[in-house]
């Protein structure tokens, strides 16, 4: 594979292939964690939402806890990320879209027990029915981008 | 705290003696009147797998950040990938065209990770949810997460971990509507 397939002329800061492989490795760890915690099974997520098993809170809390340490410490200990570029920030704004979108997202999550990460990850464990959820998510993202943004 | 933790390891000897109706509400009741003894009722499948899985997920998002500085939310890939197909100006913004390649690698990694789990520790899974629910729910998940600019990982992990108040409020909102929706659907008996 060559780096020329990255068609981003405006963001050349990091060596493209190293960045992509880092994303692949991080994605694999993420997927492994989702599988260990059974979050790739929509039925397990629905068990939480129906108050039958509170494990999801440990998953979310554990993940956010570890990430907090990295997000707070890395920019202090390192001048820049190991592979170059700069430390990003999660951009979130308090407005009707953020909260209204979250409300709609939650309704969908309550219907199917699938959120974006597990919808992709479940395929690796043979949950091919999740293609239906992926079609739905891609369609929802398209309708949002095409008709609800300028 | 230590007693609380150690009680997690013990199964609850009184579990069998409860009626189905009591068992149904037991996790809630346990929260209210006897959380020291009955914390196990909140985690009928144990708690350690959840915590270990969460630490892996947090480690993944941390690794991505330390190596590249990138913020590892998952839902943006569903918008950035449309930039390959749609000429619409929203999808052609640099934040999507400039990130669409690594986001696809990140998504491919997810599949690789669960595949490695399946052939080592785990086994093939099935969703246990009907196709209609997946399609309709998926549409709302995709639309809502993109409108909100974040999902369980973007707001729930990355946003919370950077102490962003809008993300924390988004998490509270989507947990509330998801819990409400799941209970309504269960009450209607739509899912066997």
User: Count of alpha carbons within 13 Å of A88, Cβ hemisphere only?
Assistant: 22
pLDDT of residue A14: 54
As a whole number of angstroms, the longest Cα–Cα distance in chain B is: 63
Range scoring the smallest mean pLDDT among A28-32, B7-11, B14-18: B7-11
Q: Which pLDDT tens digit goes with each residue over A108-121?
A: 999 999 999 999 99
A132: chain B residues, CB-CB within 8 Å: 131, 134-135, 138
Which of B63, B148, B174 lies nearest to residue A25, judging by beta carbons? Answer: B63
Confidence of residue A150 (pLDDT cuts 50, 70, 90): confident
Q: To the nearest whole percent, how much of chain B has pLDDT over 90?
A: 71
Q: What are the chain B neighbours of A20 within 8 Å (beta carbons)?
A: 101-102, 105
The answer to whether A94 and B166 are in contact (CB under 8 A) is yes
Q: How far apart are CA B42 and CA B30, in angstroms?
A: 8
DSSP E strand stretches across A1-150: none
How many residues can be counted in chain A?
150
Model confidence band, residue B4 (pLDDT cutoffs 50, 70, 90): very low
**DSSP structure class, residue A15:** -
SS3 state at B136: helix
- Cα A43–Cα A45–Cα A48 angle in degrees, nearest 5: 110
Q: pLDDT at position B34, please?
A: 53
Verify whether the Cβ–Cβ distance A106 to B158 is below 8 Å: no
Cβ-based neighbours of B100, under 8 Å, separated by 6 or more: B77, B80, B81, B83, B84
Whether A111 sits inside 8 A of B137 (CB atoms) is yes
Helix-then-strand count for chain B, H and E: 9, 0
| A75 pLDDT higher than 80 | yes
- A51 and B66 in contact by Cβ < 8 A? no
Q: Evaluate whether A102 touches B173 at the Cβ level (below 8 Å).
A: yes
In this complex, is the C-beta atom of A73 within 8 Å of any C-beta atom belonging to chain B? Answer: no
Mutation target vs B (from A2, A21, A43, A55; most B CBs, 10 A cutoff): A55
Q: What is the pLDDT of residue A90?
A: 85
Chain A nearest CA to B79, separation (Å): 6
What per-residue confidence (pLDDT) applies to B31? 60
Q: Is the pLDDT of residue B36 over 60?
A: no
All residues of chain B having their beta carbon less than 8 Å from the beta carbon of residue A149 are 90
Across the range A83-96, mean pLDDT stands at 91
Closest in B79, B94, B166 to A10, CB measured? B94
Separation of alpha carbons B97 and B95, rounded Å: 6
Chain B residues with beta carbon closer than 8 angstroms to that of A111: 133, 136-137, 140, 181-182, 185
pLDDT single digits (tens) B105-158? 999 999 999 999 999 999 999 988 999 999 999 999 999 999 999 999 999 999
- Contact A92/B at CB under 8 A: yes
Show residues of chain A in contact with B143, CB under 8 Å: 101, 104-105, 108, 140-141, 143-144
Report pLDDT digits (tens) over A12-49: 455 789 999 999 999 999 999 999 999 999 999 999 99
pLDDT band at B41 (very low <50, low <70, confident <90, very high): confident
Question: Best of B67, B172, B184, B187 to disrupt the A interface by mutation (most A CBs within 10 Å)?
Answer: B67
Is residue B184 within 8 Å of A115, Cβ to Cβ?
no
Distance from CA of B119 to the nearest CA of A (A): 9
The CA–CA distances, whole Å, from A89 to B70, B155, B184 equal 8, 12, 37
């Amino acid at each position: 594979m060559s780096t020329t397939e990255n068609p981003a002329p405006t963001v050349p800061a990091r060596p493209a292939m190293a960045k992509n492989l880092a994303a692949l490795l991080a994605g694999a760890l993420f997927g492994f964690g989702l599988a260990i915690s059974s979050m790739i099974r929509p039925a397990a997520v629905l068990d939480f939402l129906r108050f039958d098993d509170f494990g999801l809170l440990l998953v979310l809390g554990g993940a956010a806890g570890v990430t907090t340490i990295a997000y707070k410490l890395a920019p202090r200990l390192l001048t820049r990320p190991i592979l170059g570029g700069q430390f990003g920030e999660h951009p979130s704004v308090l407005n009707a879209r953020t909260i209204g979108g979250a409300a709609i997202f939650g309704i969908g999550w309550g219907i199917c027990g699938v959120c974006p990460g597990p919808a992709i990850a479940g395929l690796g464990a043979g949950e091919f029915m999740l293609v239906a959820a992926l079609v739905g998510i891609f369609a929802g993202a398209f309708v949002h981008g095409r008709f609800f943004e300028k | 705290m230590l007693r609380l933790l150690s009680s997690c390891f013990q199964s609850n000897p009184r579990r069998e003696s409860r009626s189905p109706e009591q068992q149904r509400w037991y996790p809630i009741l346990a929260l209210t009147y006897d959380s020291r003894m009955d914390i196990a009722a909140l985690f009928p499948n144990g708690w350690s797998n959840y915590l270990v899985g969460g630490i892996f997920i947090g480690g993944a998002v941390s690794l991505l950040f330390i190596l590249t500085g990138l913020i590892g939310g998952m839902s943006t890939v569903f918008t950035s990938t449309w930039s390959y197909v749609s000429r619409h100006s929203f999808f052609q913004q640099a934040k999507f065209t400039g990130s669409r390649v690594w986001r696809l690698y990140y998504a491919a990694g997810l599949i690789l990770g669960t595949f490695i789990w399946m052939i080592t520790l785990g086994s093939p899974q099935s969703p246990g949810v009907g196709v209609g629910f997946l399609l309709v729910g998926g549409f709302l998940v995709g639309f809502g997460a993109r409108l909100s600019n974040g999902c369980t990982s973007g707001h729930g992990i990355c946003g919370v971990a950077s102490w962003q108040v809008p993300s924390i409020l988004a998490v509270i909102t989507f947990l509330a509507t998801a819990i409400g929706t799941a209970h309504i659907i269960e009450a209607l008996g739509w899912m066997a």
